[in-house]
Structure 1
Amino acid sequence: MDLDLALVRAFVVTAETLHFGRAAARLKTSQQAHSKRIARLESQLAARLFERDGGIRLTEAGRRFEPAAREALAAGDRAVAAALDTGQAVRIDVWGHLYAPLRTVAQAVQAPGTVQPGPARDWPSAAAALLRGDADLGFGRVHPLPGGHDAGLAQRLVRLEPVDVVVSAAHPLAGAAQLRPADLRDSTLWSPAELTRLDFLRRFADAFRIARRQDGPNLGPEHLVHHVRSDPACFTLFPADAPLPDPGGLRCIPLVAPTPLYAWSLAWRKSHRHPLLDTLLRGFTDAGRTRRWLDYDPERDWLPDTDHPKLATTAPA
């Protein structure tokens, strides 16, 4: 089967918006034409990708298809860029997709056409892609890798984002206006992947002695919120500005005393500075100054110990 990338793009945008009308508007087409594209793709795959009763949501087949669909689009974009030989597009791998990393990139990039987002499951896979030369930049939370697998890479901290706790409306603490991390010790931390792979959540749990921990497969943000909504004993953490796909039946409560901060960084290969790297770094610096992305008070905020050295990387390189 030869996949039509226009159909794949229609699927990916719909998976992001969970709304046929908004997806059609983003793709500058009619809703009728957009719906026909999705139906054609489902017919080609012989699989239903979206449930359409009571709102749009991904099916199990849709959730399995989404990461591969994004990879196919990224590969197509790279193929076009190679054929045109513009030499100016920046290939940027992003990870931490549950936390919508591209919303921060979009606020910092002045000319979106200069950036080609690429898929990365996590920081180790992004680091490997950078070292192979398969990506020019990485964007997400950077942490030390065992065995020196991040040697040869540079990084710049560009955003510190406050983290909220997300609980079911039936959780015993759901009525609180704000919570301390220590207040969560009698609850169960839900991790949307193996906790050993999610460095920030693991360090948070260790630092604040959250003994009850449960993890499961990363099936996307919709699965995450469904699990939290259906289990009044559990909680998860979510960056304060990241969009939840369906906040109904949930409470997002600010954490204080201290406020955990999620560190977003740019990374690149030391031996290769893309011609547009300095321009992009200036864009992040300007956006960060305007939006106060790098505000940090050690008396008020909490960062994992491994993130403290990043504070020294905020100066222009």
Structure 2
Amino acid sequence: MDLDLALVRAFVGTAGTLHFGRAAEELHTSQQALSKRVARLEELLGVRLFERQGGVRLSEAGERFLPGAREALAAGERAVAAVTGAGAAVRIDIWGHLYTPMRTVAAAVRADGPVRWEPGPGRDWPSVAQALVRGEADLGFGRVHPLPEGRDAALTQRLVRLEPVDVVLGPSHPLAGADALRPADLRDSALWSPAELSRLDFLCRFADEFRITRRHDGPNLGLDHLLQHVRADPEGFTLFPADAPLPDHSGLRGIPLVDPTPLYAWSLAWHDAYRHPLLDTLLRGFAETGRARRWLEYTPGRDWLPDVDHAKLTTR
């Protein structure tokens, strides 16, 4: 049978919200028209794609149909772009927002020429990995770490940047006057995390490696909220990428960490089943920018990476 992409789009939109009303709003149509399109698709396929009792949820057939449906829509968009010359859009989900990952993406984008980017906010790596597996995003960008139960087994990743990390201290911290500090110097201080520590793999591994036992976390309420805690705690600190812009908070100090210098690993991730036609071009853009800006410098003994990041050094 020939698939009508308008019907497929109605299904994918509804699958994304599990609510006919909200899906209709997102697709700029009426709920009645949307329902008719989904019903027509179910009739053509001879299966029910949604269970509608006690709320809307995907049926088993709908779960099986969804990945291919998303791929069909993406292929249609690429075909139209190839004819119209608009260029294929790249949907990139980004996480780790307090560390401003768009700094790195924006620098590499300039080397890629006229690419239409559609950045999306990812909550964390597990949520972005899920979006990549489902074909809802073309690329992910942030710090990648192994997920339980092999949930990232179908994904490929490429290390694109190793960024030195500074310690940020309040004005009353006894180490605030130092020009440089070792991670071991922070052992008697309290680590403040920008979100629940269980979601922050890098900070967890840093604290474990350098035996920092006093740890504070909580909901992610933004950078200002985090830095207010650091400024108010005479023994508190947080970590921040060295090149990221730190807001001008009176008295806060960003101090380089040495012996060793912790490095934060930024990676691109994608699903080969939904490989974007511009992926190789984009990877070259990141590689060229990385070489020019020395993004991938690593010296054993001088620098520190969590164990899970070492494997990325051999596959970059």
Establish whether TM, by shorter chain, passes 0.5: yes
Partner of 2:144: 142
The answer to whether residue 122 in structure 2 is matched with residue 120 in structure 1 is yes
Could you tell me how far 1:245 is from its partner in structure 2? 2.4
Change in CA separation of 1:249 and 1:274 when aligned onto 2, cut-off 3 Å: same
**2:176 pairs with 171, 174, 182, which one?**
174
1:58-88 per-position Cα deviation (integer Å, ceiling 9, x unaligned): xxxxxxxxxxxxxxxxxxxx9xx96995361
Letter of the 2:104 counterpart: T
The answer on whether the counterparts of 2:162 and 2:295 sit within 8 Å (CA) in structure 1 is yes
**1:217 pairs with 190, 208, 219, which one?**
219
1:237-288 per-position Cα deviation (integer Å, ceiling 9, x unaligned): 0000111123322000000000000000000002222011111111110110
Partner of 1:12: none
**1:228 pairs with 224, 227, 230, which one?**
230
Could you tell me how far 1:177 is from its partner in structure 2? 0.3
Partner of 1:100: 100
Superposition pairs of residues 273-284 of structure 1, within 5 angstroms: 273-284=275-286
- Secondary structure of the corresponding residue to residue 314 of structure 2: helix
1:137-195 per-position Cα deviation (integer Å, ceiling 9, x unaligned): 00000000001100100000000000000000111000000000000011000011111
Letter of the 1:298 counterpart: P
Change in CA separation of 1:290 and 1:83 when aligned onto 2, cut-off 3 Å: closer
1:91-138 per-position Cα deviation (integer Å, ceiling 9, x unaligned): 000000000000100000133652110110100000000001000000
Superposition pairs of residues 159-170 of structure 1, within 5 angstroms: 159-170=161-172
| Bigger mean CA offset, 118-127 vs 106-115 | 106-115
The answer on whether the counterparts of 1:166 and 1:238 sit within 8 Å (CA) in structure 2 is yes
TM-score, normalised with respect to structure 2: 0.72
**2:187 pairs with 185, 188, 192, which one?**
185
Letter of the 2:215 counterpart: R
Letter of the 1:88 counterpart: A
Partner of 1:88: 88
Instruction: Please tell me whether Structure 1 or Structure 2 has the larger radius of gyration of its CA atoms.
Output: 2
What is the distance in 1 between the residues matched to 2:157 and 2:277?
16
RMSD over aligned CA atoms reads: 2.1
The answer on whether the counterparts of 2:88 and 2:115 sit within 8 Å (CA) in structure 1 is no
The answer on whether the counterparts of 2:202 and 2:306 sit within 8 Å (CA) in structure 1 is yes
What is the distance in 2 between the residues matched to 1:82 and 1:246?
44
Letter of the 1:292 counterpart: R
| Bigger mean CA offset, 95-104 vs 106-115 | 106-115
Partner of 2:251: 249
- Secondary structure of the corresponding residue to residue 299 of structure 1: coil
- Structure 2 gap segments, 5+ residues each: 1-21, 23-72, 82-86
The answer to whether residue 270 in structure 2 is matched with residue 268 in structure 1 is yes
What is the distance in 2 between the residues matched to 1:270 and 1:113?
20
The answer on whether the counterparts of 1:137 and 1:268 sit within 8 Å (CA) in structure 2 is yes
The answer on whether the counterparts of 1:141 and 1:264 sit within 8 Å (CA) in structure 2 is yes
What is the distance in 2 between the residues matched to 1:153 and 1:200?
20
How many residues align? The count is 237
